[in-house]
Structures are given as structure tokens and as C-alpha cells.
């Protein structure tokens, strides 16, 4: 992911402000690398190491949210002022649940029951008016 990839989620000028540590009006690559490294560390911490490949989609989204939260924090928006704070907490909770086996990314593969008989309230004959 490159910082330009986030332009759809955060105005480009605000991304530049968040990553312009020396105030020259341009993104400082060292600042961007620090933000990415911190977000990656937070992601990996949820799994106790590098996450399994089957969680790549969820991890990609979480990484993006962690980066966006950091960018807003670097601009001085913390807590409820940060539009990504709650999303980051939710993403971290989901990652920890995936890591612990409490949730799954395998949609539709959950075992359960199927009703293969008409429901008792379902009319068998005629039309409803």
C-alpha cells in the first residue's frame, strides 16, 4: 500500500499534512514508513506474529484502517474526533477473534440446520389476497 492509495478515504492534502514532519509541504517518506510499520506491528500483534494467508482480505482492510487512524492522530485528532478510531478498535477486535478461532472468514461454511419442510404458518394451497 502506498500513501496515494488512501486518497479515497482521506483528502490528499490532509495525508500530506499528516506525513509532512519537516513542514516543507511534501510527504516525508520516513514518516510514511513509520506509520506503516506501526500499523503492521499492531496487525501482527493480534495474531502473535505474521497472520495466516487465509485472513489476507480482513488483514488488508485492518491495515488500511490502522494507517488511517494513525494519520488522523498525527494531525491531532484523537478519541471521538478521529473518524477511524472506532473502526480501528472494531478491526482489532475482529482480528483477535479470528486469531482465537472465535470467528471465521469462511462464509457459508458454518454448520447449522436447514429447514426442508414447509413452515407451519406457510399456506400450502391457494393464494393470499
> What's the pLDDT tens digit per position in 33-92?
999 999 999 999 999 999 999 999 999 999 999 999 999 999 999 999 999 999 999 999
The continuous run of DSSP H or E covering 12 comes out as helix 12-19
pLDDT at position 48: 95
Mean pLDDT of 91-120: 74
CA distances from 62 to 13, 41, 44, 66, 108 (A): 23, 12, 11, 6, 22
Confidence of residue 24 (pLDDT cuts 50, 70, 90): very high
Q: Identify the residue whose cell numbers are 471521538.
A: 80
Residues 6+ apart with CB under 8 A from 88: 62, 65, 66, 68, 69
Q: What is the pTM (predicted TM-score) of this model?
A: 0.79
Amino acid at each position: 500500500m502506498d500513501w496515494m492509495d488512501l486518497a479515497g478515504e482521506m483528502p490528499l492534502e490532509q495525508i500530506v499534512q499528516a506525513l509532512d514532519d519537516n513542514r516543507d509541504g511534501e510527504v516525508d517518506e520516513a514518516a510514511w514508513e513509520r506509520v506503516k510499520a506501526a500499523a503492521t506491528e499492531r496487525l501482527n500483534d493480534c495474531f502473535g506474529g505474521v497472520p495466516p494467508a487465509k485472513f489476507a482480505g480482513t488483514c488488508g482492510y485492518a491495515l488500511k484502517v490502522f494507517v488511517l487512524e494513525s494519520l488522523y492522530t498525527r494531525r491531532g485528532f484523537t478519541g471521538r474526533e478521529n473518524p477511524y478510531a472506532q473502526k480501528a478498535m472494531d478491526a482489532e477486535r475482529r482480528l483477535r477473534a479470528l486469531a482465537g478461532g472465535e470467528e471465521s472468514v469462511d462464509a457459508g461454511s458454518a454448520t447449522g440446520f436447514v429447514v426442508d419442510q414447509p413452515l407451519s404458518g406457510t399456506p400450502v394451497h391457494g393464494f393470499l389476497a
